[in-house]
Amino acid sequence: MNHTYQSNSQLVNKLQSFGSLVVLSRDFIVVGISESALDANFSKESILGTNFFHSVSDLFGESYMKVKNALNGFIDSQQSSHNLTIKVNKERIYVKLRKHDPFIYLEWERQHKKNIAARKINELNFLLDSIQPNNWDLVCAAVSKLLNYDRVFVLHIQETGYSTVVAEHTVNGKSHFKGKEFSKDFMPEQALEYYKSYSYRYAPHIEIEGQEFYSTDDSIDSLSSLLSPLPELHRLFLKKIGVQSALFFRICIDGDFWGLVVAQNKEKCLVDLQQRKLCTFAIQAAASKYESYIKQNLLERTELLKNAEEELKRSLAENKMVNCALIQHMDILTQLVHADGLAIFNHGDIFNYGHAPNKTQFYEIIQFLQNHTDKAVFKDYNFRLNHQDKFNDKLGFAGLMYLKVGLENDYYIVWFRIENRSQVMQMMLQNTERENKRLKIWEDIRYDVAKPWNDAEINFVLRLNQIIKESIFAKLKERQLLNEELLSLNNELEMFTHTLSHDLKNPLSILKMGIQFLQQHPDNIDLKKINRWYQNFNRSVTNIEDIINNMVQISQHRSSILDKEPISMAYTIQRIFQENSMLYNVNNCQPCFGTLLPIWGEKSAAYQIFSNLIINAIKYSAQSDRPIVTIDSCHENDHTHYQIQDNGIGIPSEQLPHIYEMFTRANNVGSIPGTGIGLSLVKRIMERLGGTIEIESEVGQGTTVHLYFPIVEPFPEQMLVN
């Protein structure tokens, strides 16, 4: 049977030369062979396509039967790999069997050390016992002792594609790579696959030309062989920095590829298979300790998050509004995602904590987010790098993550991370005139990039979103119950109305009848009858009073005092002024806003109060040549004192005592529209909030309204800086 052969063109056409490789089919037909497995008596043509036991049995001399038995047992076993040691011409050989369907890889290399000294083993055991869960420096020291290599370091490959050297040990004690970062180009996908596919990779002779590999099937995956050469980029990199021998040990944490332990030596240095396996064992033990350390930290963090969640739930339940609870815990919300700053946007109001943008820039950020993404959770550790050109001023942060609360684009919790500036090693392959490749290496400072948001931090934000949703749902149910109660109150009010109209008829009829009787008989009624009628009048009036008092008492018992919470007023007041200036077409009315402090109140009630008063100020100052409305506030005797002042028509002094009466208006309002209800309503709401209202006014000089809101307890600190 004639067989064709070809160089393996799928991945490489060369292998490293420190060992030999034969690839077999399941029926032991040779489908691939390395150059070093051939000798003067055999050619590739005579071997490829033949039965392994017939054509290459002489390769293993007196150990042929041992290899054959191992192969026969291995093919039927559940094992994926198997190792054995044999002697060929008095030389000890390591033989490795490995399954990679549909092929079997038979690989062998010389033994360089008969055994490892007991002293080395003891040193290793001591180092393994002394290695702390998160101390990769000691791991590097242990590997260095076993290999006698110049430099050993740990390379952590981040989810961003960048690689960071987190630990290093050198023979001369001078750190070379520790703390340095490699660009994404250093670990392309092909390189990652190369290091993931084997527990370690070994390159004892960087400079030596590799050996040819011949096959009849180009689907053979050379990555399954330890002889597979280093990625060209890494080979050129090692050559560039003067390294002749290198080892790369895979680190897996919780089943995922985490990084590499890299050992480098300036001189060519052969490392026996036993030493490599011992290093692999040491690194796996260290990785196992590190994994336990991570899991313990995760348990502690889970407990911390659980406590934080319970605290947030309690606060959300105690506060009428979600926003108030979140503002009170801005420090916790910032710490739990390891952010540098936090800002909350709620219907135009802004609250900042830590390293966060100013209000003007934050409004721009919110507008940008509203226009560019509708995701509930969004993260970008390169936000400044990617979007700086969309903003007027330079962003003071590099990374951003937000949570959109609810379905509308009017409530955001936004976290910020500052720039994590680092020096990055960049590299690029260049073609030369001789068609050889040359590696260019340089270092850049990486700007505008923050530490990425990890899965644990994102999971907390998702959990926070769920907690807020549950709280909002609970409050909606409370509101539904309140609406049902209000409906019941309205029904009772209708009943009260009917009761009053019915029950007052009788005493009123008696009063009317008695008055008519007395008017018709002014002269001929004796004193006893007059006294009797007066007694009837008195009883009727008493009955009327009792009926009214009873109705009022029932009404007062059923109407609850308004629930109060800290409310930021700055944005609300400015919005009320802007909207009503347009509504009443008083565009020349100028606002003068001083300090606009938060108040303890109820949001809708606060809106009614300020809306009525600002509308009055705008309307009644509109006729001035230069209408001005001034709004300021301060803290005064455990109250938040607000002043709303206009330069309008004013109120006549004789009518000031009656301004809170329903449907009462001053006699100088002329054609200015109004119902006379506003101030009466404001006074009643202020009383329900436990506050007071006072008004000063002079005709032609304007009006000043003083509002005093009691401070229930100290305001959240962030409310006072906005």
Q: What's the mean pLDDT in 573-591?
A: 83
Residue 634 has pLDDT above 90, yes or no: yes
Q: What would the pLDDT profile of 450-503 be if each residue is shown by its tens digit?
A: 888 888 888 888 888 888 887 776 666 656 666 666 665 555 555 455 445 544
Instruction: Give the bridge partners for 710, in sequence order.
Output: 639
pLDDT for res 6: 42
Contacts of 583 (CB under 8 A, 6+ apart): none
User: Would you place residue 300 in the very low, low, confident or very high pLDDT band (cuts 50, 70, 90)?
Assistant: confident
Q: How far apart are CA 463 and CA 475, in angstroms?
A: 18
pLDDT for res 40: 66
Global pTM value: 0.68
User: Would you place residue 105 in the very low, low, confident or very high pLDDT band (cuts 50, 70, 90)?
Assistant: very high
Q: What's the mean pLDDT in 650-656?
A: 89
User: Would you place residue 365 in the very low, low, confident or very high pLDDT band (cuts 50, 70, 90)?
Assistant: very high
- Contact present, 317 and 395 (Cβ < 8 Å): no
CB-based burial of residue 465 (10 Å sphere; 0-12 exposed, 13-18 middle, 19+ buried)? middle
Q: How far apart are CA 51 and CA 571, in angstroms?
A: 86
Place of tokens 């050889």: 436
Residue 593 has pLDDT above 90, yes or no: yes
pLDDT for res 243: 95
Q: How far is CA 105 from CA 96, 121, 193, 210, 398, in A?
A: 8, 31, 19, 19, 50
| pLDDT: which is higher, 520 or 572 | 572
**The token pair that represents 400 in the structure block:** 């951003």
pLDDT for res 454: 82
Q: What's the mean pLDDT in 513-534?
A: 74
Instruction: Tell me which of 73-77, 375-379, 471-475 is least confident.
Output: 471-475
β-strands 256-265, 245-253: how paired?
antiparallel
Q: How many CB atoms lie within 10 A of CB 558?
A: 12
Instruction: Give the bridge partners for 413, in sequence order.
Output: 344, 403
Q: What's the mean pLDDT in 526-550?
A: 67
Long-range contact list for 187-196, CB < 8 A, 24+ apart?
A: 187/157, 187/161, 187/163, 188/231, 188/233, 190/231, 191/231, 191/233, 191/234, 192/157, 192/257, 193/223, 194/223, 194/228, 194/230, 194/231, 195/248, 195/250, 195/257, 195/260, 196/250, 196/257
- Contact present, 613 and 682 (Cβ < 8 Å): yes
Q: What would the pLDDT profile of 317-327 be if each residue is shown by its tens digit?
A: 776 677 788 88
Q: What's the mean pLDDT in 269-278?
A: 91
Integer-rounded Cα Rg, in Å, for the chain is 43
Asked whether the CA dihedral 165, 171, 176, 182 is positive or negative, the reply is: negative
User: Would you place residue 43 in the very low, low, confident or very high pLDDT band (cuts 50, 70, 90)?
Assistant: confident
Q: How far apart are CA 243 and CA 200, in angstroms?
A: 18
Instruction: Tell me which of 193-202, 236-245, 502-511, 712-721 is least confident.
Output: 502-511
Q: What would the pLDDT profile of 134-178 be if each residue is shown by its tens digit?
A: 688 888 988 998 899 999 999 999 888 899 999 999 999 898 899
Q: How far apart are CA 507 and CA 545, in angstroms?
A: 10
The 3-state DSSP class for residue 127 equals helix
| pLDDT: which is higher, 595 or 295 | 595
Give exposure, 577-600, as e/b (b: 16+ Cβ within 10 Å).
Answer: beebbeeeebeebebeeeebbbbb
Contacts of 159 (CB under 8 A, 6+ apart): 452, 454
User: Would you place residue 613 in the very low, low, confident or very high pLDDT band (cuts 50, 70, 90)?
Assistant: very high
Nearest alpha carbon to residue 420 among 349, 298, 475, 338: 338
- Contact present, 204 and 271 (Cβ < 8 Å): yes
Instruction: Tell me which of 179-183, 480-484, 519-523, 547-551 is least confident.
Output: 547-551
Q: What's the mean pLDDT in 299-323?
A: 76
pLDDT for res 122: 61
